[in-house]
């Protein structure tokens, strides 16, 4: 069969798109560039929304990107089951687009923080985490100023009872409620997280960990088995 | 009323505010002589900023010449001094361009925006060479860490660098954070950027070809930074600095990120003939420099410059230092393609003029000619001063006050912990954790490694793969330079050179940022003259040419200047980036080896500074032959895979190097000293490094050292959870970590 095709979206101000594309290629999938201004998902099998400062994030992070032409295609596709992951700014965009609940606000420290962060994988039943084992501890870098996950009490309760918290911080770096680092939607095809798996895929560069590979092998496994 | 050329000719005696613009009477007289009349307001604006110290290097030029006249022969140098940045051949068809530049005064007045736009400016310099910027570093110096104003300046500067650099998507891979009371009213913010390009794709700031169009693109022009070049950068701070706030520019990193991607696409489409960034002196600088280096003439209709504030006068448009702007020279037939690429990236672009062969830069406003000058007279023929200089009155007494009289410590464990927890030696994670060091996924080494290192292979999509990497370090030591500016500059170079070599990279080329007090003070000028002479001599001795840099004068408050602070950046190349040597003790059971000889050298040392607040005597000896031999051994040993880890010895000597090596991976060591323990541990003798080797590799490594006459001493073995110095002290790695990491958060929250 032909390689799985994973779309990597570039908004103006997206920064980690090359990194995400490289990680996609590393596991043997094809990385397909998707441009914010196009009404075109190019028939991809899954979509990666990378980090950055889309539109400068001068308004609320991700608040402008959700209105991009590409998002008009992506939102219904995600609701129909297309696997989508958003990291960092991508997570913020998924929340702004209401594909995931809650919001990301300024870190409790009021500082941007770049750090190799220990995480616990809580849910392996998603399109993006099935290569991990439940409860597995991994290290991924975080790098954000607005990563403090907040949601209403009801939403939090629903996330917890539904098993929708996918990643939890071990040592909370930003004041996120319930130590939440990443969540999924009801169906498990949409996942958002603040840490950066694409910076932890090679021994030579990035974080001193290759735990990020699990995200990319998960989607590959998911697509091949589909 | 517009002050046109016609009007200027008709009103020859009208008084002009040249003094308010920082121009001296004789300089103004020269302008009149060049033009054969009084300058118009717009012409005066151009000459005043172009002839300011900041843009013209009028006080430093005669000394900087040595970097060219004494330059070592280097086949690696593709573009030398005088362009926006130097370019170095790094092999396999690749070239690197890098430069360090100061943004000191703006960062004191408005720390956040001052530092942010410092990053923005140096990144545009690198872009204008045709390169993709791939990383930044910052060499920062502040007043005493516990001083009240440092709590205003440091967090603002760090946040400015963080918000701007992170939003640009450039990893911040190293630099320095230094505290000394001398920088209290004059913090130093020196920003470095490095970029990559293919060797055959170098762009230059030139406007050739009559009929070619002049395009201004990027952000629109506003009232920010007006007069910044002359008023801010070229005048000594007195008490009214708060009143200068509007002269600091405001940055928009998002626009800069778009500009980067836009420029790279313009280069790839081959629609750029010449390009120049707009930095200090804005449109004045870009038009005069492009025209002077091209066919020689240019016409510009200033009414076409897109404005953020429509009330701006032409003089203000010419002096505005609004950020995120570039100027390109484009063939008329390429204009549609150029504009389409700009539109794709939402970057506004406007044709504002045309290249001519008249030898004149002619600008119009509302149909009237307001500027008509030979561009070279503003860009290249600025005043040159042979400023008088002499040794400072107190220099001999300073040098005579050696650290010999200082009481030696009884408890070396306590001394180690005191130094390790002092602001200059403590962990800088509080600062560097605010910088993205991972973006673009090419970062092989970043702070706290001795040098930042990047792989090249995947830095530019679609380019030929290579195994090569580049390493970069910046270093400087104001205390050493205060004691002896000649040696201090050499030691700064030696340290940066060594820091590059300990990672396994071969040092290739140099950039420098020379931070000094007022050139009008003969004692400061002596420091400058000595430092440039020392640096030029050392570059020659080490075979690494200066490719560019920047001079920052007037770093003084009242009559008190900062320590002379030459900051030196060295770029090196490693043939196979997978063979990089990580910092510190990377595993257990490795032989700990000290390279280089140790003498009792405590002048300007961290020990004297922290323990006795003493500055006197002479700095460590700069032994350049020993530095070169050490680097040769380190690079060759890395190539052969003999080194498991390494660390440079510098501030705080062996004691601090051992502690930091333990902290790298949390691995202890047991070592034994043979000489006087205090001297062995805390002397700051140069040309030394610490390495760890596998026991079975030791003999081969020792014989390599022998072949190059590099002294090599086995000190002990790594392992355990403590640093044990036999018969002297034992300290747990945990205690080291606690001391090392607690200091900055305690000060800055």
To probe the interface with B, which of A35, A107, A143 has the most B CB atoms within 10 Å?
Answer: A143
Contacts of A112 in chain B (CB under 8 A): 159, 162-163, 166, 434-436
pLDDT of B203 reads 84
**B455 and A204: CB-CB below 8 Å?**
yes
Closest-CA residue in chain A for B443? A205
Contact B433 A141 (CB under 8 A): no
Q: Which whole number is the average pLDDT over B193-197?
A: 96
For residue B523, the model assigns a pLDDT of: 98
- B257/A15 Cβ within 8 A: yes
Structure tokens at B457: 């292979």
Beta-carbon separation of A19 and B254 below 8 A: no
Catalytic residues of B: 54, 103
pLDDT in tens, A62-116: 999 999 999 999 999 999 999 999 999 999 999 999 999 999 999 999 999 999 9
B645 has a pLDDT exceeding 60: yes
Return the number of other C-beta atoms located less than 10 Å from residue B558's C-beta.
10
CB contact under 8 A, B444 and A57: no
- The b/e string for B461-475 (b: 16+ C-beta within 10 A; e otherwise) is eebeebebbbbbbbb
Nearest CA in chain B to A107: B434
Per residue in B647-656, pLDDT (tens digit) is: 999 999 999 9
Q: Mean per-residue pLDDT for A51-61?
A: 92
Asked if B257 has any chain A CB less than 8 Å from its own CB, the reply is yes
Q: Among all residues of chain A, which has the CA nearest to that of B459?
A: A18
Q: Where are the alpha helices (DSSP H) in B484-572?
A: 485-502, 522-542
In B, which residues are within 8 Å of A12 by CB distance? Answer: 254, 257-258, 345-346
Determine the distance in angstroms separating the CA of A223 from the nearest CA of chain B, rounded to an integer. 26
- Return the residue of A nearest to B162 by Cα: A112
Residue contact A56–B433, C-beta within 8 A: no
Q: Is the pLDDT score of B247 beyond 70?
A: no
Instruction: Output the CA torsion A89→B427→B452→B192 (10° steps).
Output: 80
Q: Does B222 lie at the interface with A, CB-CB under 8 angstroms?
A: no
The per-residue pLDDT of chain B, averaged, comes to 93
Let me know if A88 is a catalytic residue.
yes
Can you name the CATH fold of B581-749? Phosphoribosyl-aminoimidazole Synthetase; Chain A, domain 2 (3.90.650)
d(CA B30, CA A139): 65
CB contacts, 8 Å: A55 with chain B: 254
Number of domains in chain A: 1
Q: How far apart are CA B100 and CA B138, in angstroms?
A: 9
**Residues B624-634: tens digit of each pLDDT:** 999 999 999 99
pLDDT value at A38 more than 70: yes
Token digits of residue B193: 């950027």
- Which DSSP string corresponds to B55-95? HH-TTTHHHHHHHHHTPPP-TTEEE-TTSSSEEEEEETTEE
Catalytic position from the list A36, A61, A73, A88: A88
Of A70, A61, A122, residue with least CA distance to A91: A61
What's the pTM?
A: 0.95
Residue B148 has φ and ψ, to the nearest 5°, of -60, -45
Binding residues of B: 57, 99, 101-105, 124-125, 249, 277, 321-323, 512, 549-550, 552
CATH number, residue A111? 3.40.50.880
Residue range B417-425: mean pLDDT, rounded: 98
- Looking at chain B, the whole-number percentage of residues with pLDDT higher than 70 is 97
Instruction: For chain B, give every domain's residue range.
Output: 581-749
pLDDT of residue A226: 64
What distance in Å separates residue A154's CA from the closest CA in chain B?
A: 33
Residue positions of B in the annotated binding site for Mg(2+)?
A: 101, 125, 277, 550
Q: Which residues of B touch A141 (CB under 8 A)?
A: 438
Q: Using CA atoms, how far apart are residues A71 and B326, in angstroms rounded to an integer?
A: 32
- pLDDT reading at B78 higher than 60: yes
Handedness of CA B714, B717, B721, B726 (dihedral sign): negative
Quick: pLDDT tens for B546-595.
999 999 999 999 889 999 999 999 999 999 999 999 999 999 999 999 99
Predicted local confidence at residue B227, as pLDDT: 57
Domain boundaries, position A55: 5-225
Beta-carbon separation of B438 and A143 below 8 A: yes
- pLDDT of B232 reads 37
Residue A114 has its nearest CB partner, among B433, B444, B577, at B433
User: CB B167 to CB A207 under 8 A?
Assistant: no
Residue list for the binding site of B for ATP: 57, 99, 512, 549
H helices present in B671-726, as ranges:
677-682, 698-707
CB contact under 8 A, B253 and A53: yes
Beta-carbon contacts of A183 under 8 Å, excluding residues fewer than 6 positions away, are A100, A101, A102, A149, A159, A164, A165, A166, A191, A192, A193
């Amino acid at each position: 069969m032909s390689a799985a095709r994973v779309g990597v979206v570039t908004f103006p101000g997206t920064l980690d798109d090359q990194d995400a594309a490289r990680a996609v290629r590393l596991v043997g999938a094809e990385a397909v560039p998707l441009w914010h201004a196009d009404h075109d998902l190019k028939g991809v099998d899954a979509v990666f929304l990378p980090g950055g400062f889309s539109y400068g994030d001068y308004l609320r992070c991700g608040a402008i990107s959700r209105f991009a032409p590409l998002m008009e295609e992506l939102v219904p596709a995600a609701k129909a089951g297309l696997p989508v992951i958003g990291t960092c700014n991508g997570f913020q965009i998924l929340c702004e687009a209401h594909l995931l609940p809650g919001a990301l606000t300024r870190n409790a420290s009021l500082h941007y923080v770049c750090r190799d962060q220990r995480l616990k994988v809580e849910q392996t039943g998603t399109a993006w985490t099935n290569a991990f084992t439940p409860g597995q501890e991994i290290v991924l870098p975080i790098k954000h100023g607005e990563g403090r996950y907040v949601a209403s009490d009801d939403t939090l309760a629903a996330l917890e009872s539904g098993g929708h918290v996918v990643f939890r911080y071990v040592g909370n770096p930003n004041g996120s409620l319930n130590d939440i680092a990443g969540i999924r939607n009801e169906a498990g095809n949409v996942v958002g997280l603040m840490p950066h798996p694409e910076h932890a895929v090679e021994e030579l560069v990035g974080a001193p960990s290759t735990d990020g590979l699990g995200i990319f092998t998960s989607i590959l496994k998911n697509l091949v088995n589909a | 009323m517009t002050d046109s050329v016609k009007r200027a000719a008709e009103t020859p005696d009208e008084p002009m505010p040249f003094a308010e613009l920082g121009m001296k009477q004789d300089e103004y007289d020269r302008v009149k002589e060049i033009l054969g009349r009084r300058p118009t307001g717009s012409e005066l604006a151009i000459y005043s900023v172009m002839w300011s110290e900041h843009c013209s290097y009028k006080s430093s030029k005669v000394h900087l010449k040595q970097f060219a006249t004494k330059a070592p022969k280097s086949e690696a140098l593709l573009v030398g001094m005088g362009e926006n940045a130097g370019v170095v051949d790094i092999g396999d068809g690749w070239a690197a361009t890098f430069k360090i530049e100061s943004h000191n005064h703006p960062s004191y007045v408005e720390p956040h925006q001052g530092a942010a736009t410092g990053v923005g400016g140096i990144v545009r310099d690198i872009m204008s060479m045709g390169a993709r910027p791939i990383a930044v570093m910052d060499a920062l110096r502040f007043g005493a860490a516990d001083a009240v104003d440092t709590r205003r300046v440091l967090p603002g500067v760090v946040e400015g660098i963080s918000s701007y650099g992170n939003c640009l998507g450039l990893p911040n891979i190293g630099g320095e954070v230094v505290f000394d009371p001398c920088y209290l009213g004059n913090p130093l913010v020196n920003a470095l950027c490095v970029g990559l390009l293919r060797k055959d794709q170098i762009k230059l700031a030139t406007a050739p070809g009559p009929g070619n169009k002049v395009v201004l693109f990027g952000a629109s022009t506003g009232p920010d930074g007006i007069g910044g070049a002359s008023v801010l950068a070229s005048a000594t701070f007195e008490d009214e600095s708060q009143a200068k706030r509007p002269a600091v520019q405001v940055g928009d990193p998002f626009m800069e990120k778009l500009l980067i991607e836009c420029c790279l696409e313009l280069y790839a489409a081959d629609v750029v003939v010449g390009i120049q960034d707009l930095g200090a002196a804005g449109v004045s600088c870009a038009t005069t420099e492009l025209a002077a280096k091209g066919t020689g003439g240019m016409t510009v209709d200033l009414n076409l410059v897109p404005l953020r504030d429509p009330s701006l006068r032409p003089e203000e448009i010419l002096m505005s230092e609004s950020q995120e702007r570039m100027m390109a020279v484009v063939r008329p037939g390429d204009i549609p393609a150029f504009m389409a690429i700009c539109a794709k990236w939402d970057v506004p672009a406007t044709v504002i003029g045309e290249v001519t062969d008249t030898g004149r830069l002619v600008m119009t406003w509302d149909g009237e000619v307001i500027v008509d000058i030979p561009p070279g007279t503003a860009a290249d023929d600025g005043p040159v001063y042979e400023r008088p200089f002499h040794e400072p009155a107190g220099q001999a007494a300073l040098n005579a006050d050696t650290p010999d009289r200082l009481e030696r410590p009884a408890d070396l464990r306590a001394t180690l912990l005191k130094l390790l927890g002092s602001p200059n030696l403590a962990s800088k994670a509080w600062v560097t954790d605010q910088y993205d060091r991972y973006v673009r996924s090419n970062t092989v080494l970043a702070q706290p490694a001795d040098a930042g290192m990047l792989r090249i292979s995947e830095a530019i999509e679609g380019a030929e793969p290579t195994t090569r990497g580049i390493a970069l370090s910046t270093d400087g030591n104001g205390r050493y330079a205060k004691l002896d500016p000649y040696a201090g500059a050499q030691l700064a170079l030696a340290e940066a050179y060594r820091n590059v070599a300990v990672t396994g990279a071969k040092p290739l080329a140099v950039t420098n940022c020379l931070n000094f007090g007022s050139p009008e003070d003969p004692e400061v000028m002596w420091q400058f003259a000595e430092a440039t002479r020392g640096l030029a001599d050392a570059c020659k001795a080490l075979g690494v040419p200066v490719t560019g840099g920047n001079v920052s004068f007037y770093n003084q408050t009242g009559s008190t200047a900062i320590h002379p602070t030459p900051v030196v950046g060295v770029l090196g190349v490693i043939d196979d980036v997978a063979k990089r040597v990580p910092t510190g003790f990377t595993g257990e059971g490795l032989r700990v080896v000290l390279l280089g000889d140790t003498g009792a050298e405590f002048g300007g040392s961290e020990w004297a500074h922290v323990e006795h607040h003493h500055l006197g005597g002479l700095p460590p000896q700069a032994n350049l032959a020993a530095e070169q031999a050490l680097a040769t051994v380190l690079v060759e040993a890395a190539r052969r895979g003999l080194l498991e880890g390494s660390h440079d010895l510098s501030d705080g000597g062996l004691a601090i190097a051992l502690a930091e090596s333990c902290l790298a991976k949390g691995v202890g060591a047991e070592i034994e000293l043979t000489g006087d323990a205090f001297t062995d541990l805390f002397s700051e003798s140069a040309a030394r490094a610490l390495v760890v080797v596998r026991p079975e590799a030791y003999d081969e490594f020792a014989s390599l050292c022998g072949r190059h006459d590099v002294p090599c001493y086995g000190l002990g073995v790594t392992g355990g959870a403590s640093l044990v110095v036999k018969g002297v002290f034992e300290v747990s790695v945990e205690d080291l970590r606690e001391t090392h990491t607690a200091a900055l958060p305690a000060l800055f929250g």
